[in-house]
Structure 1
Amino acid sequence: MDDLTRVGAYREAGRVRCDLRPGALSPRVLSTGRRTARVALVATRALLLGGDHVRIEVHVGEGVELELVEVSGTVAYAGRGRSASWDVEVRVDAGALLVWDALPFVVADGADVERTTRVSLADGGTQGDRGVALLRETLVLGRTGEVGGRLRSRTRVDLSGPVAPRILGGVGGTGESAPPGGSRRAWQEDPTRPERVRELFVEDLDLADDRTLPGILGESRVVDSALCLGARPPATASEPPSTSAPSRPGPPALTGPLRLDLDGPGVIARHLGASTHDAGIDAVVAAWTTAARAARVTDPPGAAPPPARGAPSTADLPETRTTLLTTGA
């Protein structure tokens, strides 16, 4: 079964509007603000079964902060000879932030899973103009007492810019954003200014039967990672020094998640172990989220509130109050 779930968050008329399409996951708005949105992802059925092909598309419009909240983890069950796939496509526009602290992805005995994550970040040349994605990926091989099935996990992250979209319908230069193919505005890319795309991070983890060999995973069954893409936050107390410049030869003595600074604007924290409880990634994600939010460009003091629409503005509502401004199937 091929199921597409789509989540989009865009600034429009001084507030955030969400475009949601349910599929294998049902996106539900938890709250919105002038520049923020929180959306829950709820499974609509048992996931993943053999033959399932789940696709998730996420688009964060310019200047918007979107937080995705998973209600439960995912278990890939024995496929009885059939494989399953989990495909995520993310686009983060200039000045936008995506926070997705995903719950564990468990590969049970007999499962055969292809997992792909593609992220495109708008790069305006400076941190304030660059899209930032903070992702959590916890891969667990087997349930309690199991060895776990086969998993191949691919990740590709690109920086693209400058992006030169042309929004038809009289909106432009206002700091607003709109969905491609949206119902109220058409979106086109300027063909005279092609995007410059460069790779930020590429990884291919083929965790087949030989993963238990020394030098691969050995006795570890959990690969817990936090990825901060588009920015490089300072090291936290739970991270050992970065491996980009080792101080002495030989393997480092790890006291927490391993920090890997990318060549471009980004960093990865990773833990290999027997369980998720001792990974230390939770503290890293919390610290990086705080740093990413603090670095965002906010409205200048004295900025005008959004225009009235015959109802209280979301600027007057607490961030935790649910405001339904959604469209889509």
Structure 2
Amino acid sequence: MITAWIAVDAAPGRARVDLSTGAGTTLVPRLLGRTASSARVALVAGGAMLLGGDAIGLDIRVGTGCTLDLTEVGGTVAYDADGEASHWSTHVIVGPGATLIWRGLETVVADGANLHRRTEIALADDARVLVRDVCVLGRSGERGGRLCVETTVTVDDVPLLVESIDVHGDRPMSGVLGPNRVIESIVLAGIRPGEPDAHTMETAGRGALARYLGHSVHESPLAHTWDTWRRLMEADL
């Protein structure tokens, strides 16, 4: 497995930011800016991804009282691999009083791809997380391959969100995605949202899940949700 890592800790003057580097790295974090307790980091593809047999790991740690604003330069494509699986595993730890904001871009699962993604996010009791994730079955004119997504969010070791989605573009399932090819999710953890709307489900703990199922990313109504929740996060910092 090829692993990239991002670690942010407070330090006098400017936050200490540790990033994985190296020629040939498939996923390369780039520092965009920082203050004494915050950092802005971009995820940049270091090569073609995802191909059959690829195994990518991403480790993120946000230290006590710090803020990490994570962006992506471009979307990701899981390419036709004749069904050979590719794996992407993300492990996130957000420390006491820390904040993670991650606006993910589209992951497109082409015909013949077989993508398995697992995301684990562990928050301290007073930490906060806002994460956007978008998956698209198929490129233009395609129905898409297999997509298996597992997501776990815990707050102080107590599960807040545990979800598993396993779909295949050639075999749509009623009650899951149905005829839709786009699934967009925004997860808010560690803080209560404002007034919920038709696309939002509040969790039993402090948090919420907003979701859109549709045919096109540009038709999603969740841009307003993202902006509202981001302002809520920033006002609470």
TM range (shorter): over 0.9
**2:186·2:211 contact (CA, 8 Å) conserved in 1?**
yes
1:135 aligns with 2:131: yes
Distance 1:41 1:135 in 2: 14
Q: Which has the higher strand share?
A: 2
Q: 1:80 to 1:153 in 2, by over 3 A?
A: same
1:21 aligns with 2:9: no
What is the TM-score of this pair, normalised by structure 1?
0.69
Distance 1:117 1:73 in 2: 17
Select which of 169, 186, 195 maps to 1:235.
Answer: 195
- Superposition RMSD on alpha carbons, in Å? 1.4
Q: Which amino acid aligns with 2:47?
A: R
In the other structure, the counterpart of 2:204 is 263
CA deviation string 1:160-197 (max 9, x = no partner)? 2xxxxxxxxxxxxxxxxxxxxxxxxxxxxxxxxxxxx2
In the other structure, the counterpart of 1:280 is 221
Which SS does the other structure have where 1:103 is aligned? strand
How far did residue 120 of structure 1 move?
0.3
1:212 aligns with 2:172: yes
Which SS does the other structure have where 1:212 is aligned? coil
Question: Residues 270-309 of structure 1 correspond to what in structure 2 (within 5 A)?
Answer: 270-296=211-237
In the other structure, the counterpart of 1:221 is 181
Question: Residues 72-83 of structure 1 correspond to what in structure 2 (within 5 A)?
Answer: 72-83=74-85
CA deviation string 1:114-164 (max 9, x = no partner)? 1000000011xxxxxx1111100101000111000001100011122xxxx
In the other structure, the counterpart of 2:48 is 46
In the other structure, the counterpart of 2:35 is 33
Structure 1: stretches of 5+ with no match in the other structure: 124-129, 161-196, 241-257, 297-329
Q: 1:66 to 1:231 in 2, by over 3 A?
A: same
**1:56·1:89 contact (CA, 8 Å) conserved in 2?**
yes
Distance 1:259 1:57 in 2: 28
Select which of 69, 72, 77 maps to 1:70.
Answer: 72
Distance 1:121 1:81 in 2: 35
Distance 1:293 1:42 in 2: 25
What is the TM-score of this pair, normalised by structure 2?
0.95
* Structure 1 outlier segments of 4+, above 2 Å: 208-211, 213-216
Distance 2:215 2:70 in 1: 27
Which SS does the other structure have where 1:277 is aligned? helix
Structure 2: stretches of 5+ with no match in the other structure: none
Aligned length: 234
**2:7·2:60 contact (CA, 8 Å) conserved in 1?**
yes
* Percent of aligned pairs sharing the same letter: 40
**1:142·1:148 contact (CA, 8 Å) conserved in 2?**
yes
Q: 1:95 to 1:211 in 2, by over 3 A?
A: farther
Q: Which amino acid aligns with 2:211?
A: R
1:115 aligns with 2:111: no
